[in-house]
Structure 1
């Protein structure tokens, strides 16, 4: 069990990365790549197997976990100085712009499709499909602005509660209100067929931000891990006592997935770092792995991917082998890109900024953390 002071979520310790969060991202990356590969390649008879069906249910935590960890990381990287949110806003805005660009870029259908479909609803629905990267990008931008404007500890807590709870609860109303809006906005806000609309998916991001904000009240180590387990378990028990609702606008579903995600973070926090350390490199390369594997699996710009060339025809073991091979190749490309850019020469936790001491309650704290 992790000792206090060596917690994977030591939010007061200056560090550019949190190994526990990277481990959680790495776990989600493995589930994402394998899940997409199996979805594209498994033969129908294999897909119908009870164990595969059970895996599809468990795999539902993948995207919520990404959003939950993204919100957690934004708050955990702020440090303890109040002005750190303002200092990091420009960097977060640029990151959000990059995520938006990549999110739309990976769904580019190609010029042949553009000429064939014309500028109609079908083409616009493809071009402006609101996927996980776009949802994280907008949530990141809104979250960064909220952290700048809401400077007090309790003020931030209240605002984050309102966003984490209010966005899922307002989802049915927002979907109905957006019915007459342009397709591009409806894709983002929420409509039937939209993949990861802000209502309710942004709720996962702000639930993670709220959890990180509240954990600052506890000592690092097992107190934080037990708090995550207690909060996640409490949400799971609450959802079991309420009528289940698996609809895309369901606040119940958001609470259920948030509970699962907090349990994952709690377990990783309490386990020795030997568990999360092998997954952490995958987590740090999560954006690369996401962008690289999607075109290979599903195709891009009119070029067929594995889904069109091989699927759905494979058995479970061959499909798993393809998925693991794809994960390894994408990770190797990501590592090579980091080496070319010179990022691999610096240790993960080496500070890339000048930390400035800020006295607070007799302790010396430092600002300027970055995600």
Structure 2
């Protein structure tokens, strides 16, 4: 068990990277890549296996865990000063815009499809499908603004709680209000067929942000881990006492998935780092693993992917082997790109250091002295 002072979520020491968060995100990445690959390649007979069906049920935590960790990480990266949120707003906004761009870019169908369909509702519904990256991007932008404008521990707690609870509860009304809006806005707010609309998916982001904000009140280490486990278990017990609702606008479902996600974060916090450390590198490259594997599995811009080239024809072991291989290749590409960017950054820093002007005191220069 983690000792106090060595917590994976030591929120008293703000950092852009927390090993525990990266470990949880890495676990979600593995489940995501393998889940997408198996979904595209498994034969119907294999998919009907009872324990494969059980895996599909457990896999439902993947996307909620991504949003939960994203909200948690925003608060975890803040310092204790009131100005820290404002100072990081520009960086958060740029990150949010990058997520929005990549999310829409992955849905580009290719010029042949554009010419065939024309710029109608069908094409716009495809291009502007609101996916996980867009949901995280908008939530990140709103969350960064809220943390900048809301000062004080309890003020932020109230605002984050209102968003975490209010967004899921308002989802049915938001979907009804969006009827008749342009399809781009309907995709973002919520409509039948959308996968990750802001209502209710942004609720996961703000639930994570609220959990991280409240954990600042506790000592780092096992008190925070036990609090996460207790809160997650409490939410799961609450959902068991309420009527189950698996509809896309269900606040019950959000509470259920948040409870599962908090249990994962609590377990990562309490277990020794030897269990989470191997997953942390995957978590640190999660965005690029997401961007790289989707075109391979599902295709992009008219180029077919594995789902079309191979289809649902494979048994479990071959499909699982392809998924693991895809994960390894995408991670290698992401790591190589990271090393190249790091080398370029160090080279630029070195050139800037050599180019710095040296301040000299004119009185110290004597006749014949060489510089």
Please state which band the TM-score falls in when normalised by the shorter chain.
Answer: over 0.9
Q: What does residue range 14-33 of structure 1 map to in structure 2 within 5 Å?
A: 14-33=14-33
The residue aligned with 2:110 is 110
Tell whether 2:249 aligns with 1:259: no
1:103 Cα shift?
0.2
The residue aligned with 2:235 is 235
Partner Cα separation in structure 1 for residue 273 and residue 343 of structure 2 = 23
Contact 2:47 2:53 in 1 (8 A): yes
Contact 1:339 1:345 in 2 (8 A): no
The residue aligned with 2:73 is 73
Partner Cα separation in structure 2 for residue 41 and residue 14 of structure 1 = 42
The residue aligned with 1:145 is 145
The residue aligned with 2:217 is 217
Contact 1:338 1:344 in 2 (8 A): no
Partner Cα separation in structure 2 for residue 317 and residue 254 of structure 1 = 33
Contact 1:40 1:297 in 2 (8 A): yes
Partner Cα separation in structure 2 for residue 14 and residue 46 of structure 1 = 46
CA 1:163/1:234 → structure 2, altered by over 3 Å: closer, same or farther? same
The residue aligned with 2:190 is 190
Partner Cα separation in structure 2 for residue 339 and residue 220 of structure 1 = 32
Deviation readout 1:177-201 (Å, 9 max, x if unpaired): 0001100000000000011000000
Q: What does residue range 24-103 of structure 1 map to in structure 2 within 5 Å?
A: 24-103=24-103
Tell whether 2:297 aligns with 1:297: yes
Deviation readout 1:303-336 (Å, 9 max, x if unpaired): 0000001110000010000000000000000000
CA 1:344/1:37 → structure 2, altered by over 3 Å: closer, same or farther? farther
CA 1:344/1:200 → structure 2, altered by over 3 Å: closer, same or farther? farther
Partner Cα separation in structure 1 for residue 282 and residue 345 of structure 2 = 17
TM-score by length of 1: 0.92
**How many residue pairs end up in the alignment?**
346
CA RMSD of aligned residues (A): 1.1
Contact 1:109 1:127 in 2 (8 A): yes
Q: Which runs of 5+ in 2 are unaligned?
A: 347-371
The residue aligned with 1:275 is 275
Q: What secondary structure sits across from 1:119 in the alignment?
A: coil
Contact 1:82 1:151 in 2 (8 A): yes
Q: What secondary structure sits across from 1:60 in the alignment?
A: helix
Contact 2:229 2:267 in 1 (8 A): yes
1:13 Cα shift?
1.4
Which structure has the larger Rg over C-alpha atoms? 2
Q: What secondary structure sits across from 1:277 in the alignment?
A: helix
Structure 1 ranges of 4+ moved more than 6 A: 343-346
Higher helix share goes to which structure?
A: 2
The residue aligned with 1:368 is none
1:167 Cα shift?
0.1
Contact 2:14 2:78 in 1 (8 A): no
Report which structure shows greater RCO (CA 8 Å, sep ≥6): 1
Q: What secondary structure sits across from 2:174 in the alignment?
A: helix
Contact 2:14 2:76 in 1 (8 A): no
Partner Cα separation in structure 2 for residue 281 and residue 152 of structure 1 = 34
The residue aligned with 1:324 is 324
Deviation readout 1:271-308 (Å, 9 max, x if unpaired): 00111100000000000000000000000000000000
CA 1:5/1:343 → structure 2, altered by over 3 Å: closer, same or farther? farther
Tell whether 2:15 aligns with 1:9: no
Tell whether 2:94 aligns with 1:119: no
Partner Cα separation in structure 2 for residue 14 and residue 142 of structure 1 = 20
Partner Cα separation in structure 2 for residue 345 and residue 130 of structure 1 = 33
